[in-house]
Amino acid sequence: MSSEATTASGITTVYQVTGMTCGHCEGAVSEEISAIAGVSSVKAVAATGQVTVVSAAPLDDEAVRAAVDEAGYELTGQA
């Protein structure tokens, strides 16, 4: 089962990230992923560890992993 869905606004992908515990964590992860070319929106939820990303085209998993790592957290895969 793929966690990617195509909509009128782009491709939505849900990632699982470990280590987020608060709103600051959510903001740090969102900011780093938002810097990836083609990303139009990011919503991180510390309570579930899920990060929902909407982009114009499928994202390179390694680019997302690097962005999450830069924020100080760990991408464990797609939810």
Average pLDDT, the chain: 93
Domain with 26 in it: what CATH number? 3.30.70.100
Tell me: the pLDDT tens digits for 15-49? 999 999 999 999 999 999 999 999 999 999 999 99
Distance CA 58, CA 22 (A): 28
Rounded Cα–Cα distance for residues 42 and 71 (Å):
14
Domain interval for residue 37: 4-78
Determine the Cα–Cα distance for residues 19 and 36; give it in Å rounded to an integer.
21
- Evaluate if pTM is beyond 0.85: yes
Q: What pLDDT, on the 0 to 100 scale, is given for residue 9?
A: 73
Other C-beta atoms closer than 10 Å to the C-beta of 75 total: 22
Position 11 pLDDT exceeds 80: yes
Provide the domain count of the chain: 1
